[in-house]
A and B are shown apart, each in its own frame.
Chain A
């Protein structure tokens, strides 16, 4: 596998600070839900910078999609969120990663917990789940600052309307008008109650995927393990320092 030149076929503003890029990659044969690609930028003097981005597109999608959050001090994300336009070209490598992935052949229910831009690979899983017509229950718990910062808003509403998928949003700072749920940082009690609500009635196996900032993932994963989850059934992707 080598670096390939991808065409940016469309850009979509997800939030005031994040954007989805749709990429046409020559020879692209899809990915596994949850995988990532590396994107590389090259300056006129040959200087290069590369970063990894989770795919948000469904496994079999014709175009690979990445959803990039602007890191104010970042080197690559400012260009991808503010600089790039449809018709531009980028170098990409992938798909990559074999652990934080979901396959429609998995028989067990799935739980997804995302914080902020950590939603991206989880939406890839939900999209893949929907497109495959999977009948296993899928539950998403999405922690996000305020309504303006919700990625994939319309699609999450549509996915949540499906019989075997359920989306729960936890607003950490501001909720929409008329919101009746709680507002505040996701805490252990909230994760525990959501885990109890989403546990299989038969007490059977369940797989959990958690993606978000390090502190968020640590809290969610520790809480689930304390509540009895098998640590090997909990897959995590963290970003940021600790």
Chain B
């Protein structure tokens, strides 16, 4: 506990077990992006996984929509300290996608339209922990929030859930993505408060 701030009492009095340390709950859905919002039509969208040998498995929007689609109800936690509870998404599990990919590489880099990247270990994308999501709250995902499709890795800080995602590349070593090069943590576990590069 830090120094007490005289006269400050705060709003929340009950500890909320859904709220990671240093977070507050919001009902809004704030938008945080490094640059302009790319405008990607589903007809020009595709998603690919490139393995360590350079083999590419690619899905068009229509092929993607023909895959099994899951409903996801989850809390999300942004590194800028807001959390949003019970958000409702629809998307394709990364387990479904990786079932069609041969890889032994332990690390992935997610790539987005616009050139952004973020690194995620493969094990954090498998076993029901991650999706490529294209609906939020029953509606097609807004471009500001990453539409037509974004990665959804809700157990990590939300910048790992790359907006406008268009593919993953597989890597033998853990390289840093865009936000990670720019001061954010390589892994980003909200429950360990791994916000910035120097957090353990």
Where the two chains meet, the residues of A that have a C-beta atom closer than 8 Å to any C-beta of B are 1, 3, 5, 38, 40-44, 46-52, 75, 79, 83, 88-91, 96-100, 214, 218, 221-222, 224-225, 231-232, 234-242
Q: Closest approach, in angstroms, between the C-beta of A36 and any C-beta of chain B?
A: 9
Nearest 9 CB-CB pairs, A to B? A241-B28, A98-B182, A221-B36, A98-B183, A41-B5, A99-B182, A41-B8, A214-B31, A91-B2
Cβ-defined contact, B10 with A238, below 8 A: no
Cβ-defined contact, B2 with A221, below 8 A: no
Task: A41 to B11: give the CA distance in the assembly, Å.
Answer: 12
Task: A19 to B121: give the CA distance in the assembly, Å.
Answer: 43
In the complex formed, the residue of A with least CB distance to B198 is A1
Contact partner of A83 (CB less than 8 A), chosen from B7, B22, B33, is B7
With a cutoff of 8 Å between Cβ atoms, the chain B residues found around residue A232 in the complex are: 35, 114-115
Contact partner of B196 (CB less than 8 A), chosen from A43, A96, A100, A241, is A96
Given the interface contacts A43-B4, A98-B183, does A241 sit within 8 Å of B37 by beta carbon?
no
Cβ-defined contact, B35 with A235, below 8 A: yes
Cβ-defined contact, A240 with B36, below 8 A: no
Task: A46 to B8: give the CA distance in the assembly, Å.
Answer: 11
Where the two chains meet, the residues of B that have a C-beta atom closer than 8 Å to any C-beta of A are 1-13, 22, 24, 26, 28-39, 80-81, 114-115, 142, 144-145, 178-179, 181-183, 196, 198
Q: Closest approach, in angstroms, between the C-beta of B50 and any C-beta of chain A?
A: 22
Cβ-defined contact, A50 with B22, below 8 A: yes
Cβ-defined contact, B182 with A240, below 8 A: no
With a cutoff of 8 Å between Cβ atoms, the chain B residues found around residue A88 in the complex are: 5-6
Given the interface contacts A43-B5, A48-B2, A98-B182, does A241 sit within 8 Å of B29 by beta carbon?
yes
Cβ-defined contact, B36 with A222, below 8 A: yes
Cβ-defined contact, B10 with A47, below 8 A: yes
What are 10 A-B contacts with C-beta separation under 8 Å?
A: A41-B8, A42-B8, A43-B9, A48-B22, A75-B24, A79-B7, A98-B183, A218-B31, A241-B30, A242-B30
With a cutoff of 8 Å between Cβ atoms, the chain B residues found around residue A97 in the complex are: 182-183
Q: Closest approach, in angstroms, between the C-beta of B148 and any C-beta of chain A?
A: 16
Cβ-defined contact, B1 with A48, below 8 A: yes
Residue among A43, A83, A240 having the largest count of chain B Cβ atoms under 10 Å: A43
Task: A44 to B10: give the CA distance in the assembly, Å.
Answer: 10
Cβ-defined contact, B182 with A231, below 8 A: no
Given the interface contacts A43-B4, A238-B33, does A75 sit within 8 Å of B10 by beta carbon?
yes
Cβ-defined contact, A242 with B31, below 8 A: yes
Q: Closest approach, in angstroms, between the C-beta of B91 and any C-beta of chain A?
A: 20
Contact partner of A214 (CB less than 8 A), chosen from B22, B30, B38, is B30
With a cutoff of 8 Å between Cβ atoms, the chain A residues found around residue B26 in the complex are: 241
Told that A231-B38, A241-B31 touch, could you supply 20 new A-B pairs with CB distance under 8 A? A1-B196, A5-B2, A42-B4, A42-B5, A47-B10, A47-B12, A48-B22, A50-B22, A52-B80, A83-B8, A97-B182, A218-B37, A222-B36, A222-B39, A224-B36, A225-B36, A232-B114, A232-B115, A240-B31, A242-B31
With a cutoff of 8 Å between Cβ atoms, the chain B residues found around residue A238 in the complex are: 30-33
Cβ-defined contact, B2 with A99, below 8 A: no
Task: A83 to B9: give the CA distance in the assembly, Å.
Answer: 11
With a cutoff of 8 Å between Cβ atoms, the chain A residues found around residue B22 in the complex are: 48, 50
Contact partner of A236 (CB less than 8 A), chosen from B6, B9, B36, is B36
With a cutoff of 8 Å between Cβ atoms, the chain A residues found around residue B13 in the complex are: 47
Task: A157 to B25: give the CA distance in the assembly, Å.
Answer: 40
Cβ-defined contact, A99 with B30, below 8 A: no
Q: Closest approach, in angstroms, between the C-beta of B26 and any C-beta of chain A?
A: 8
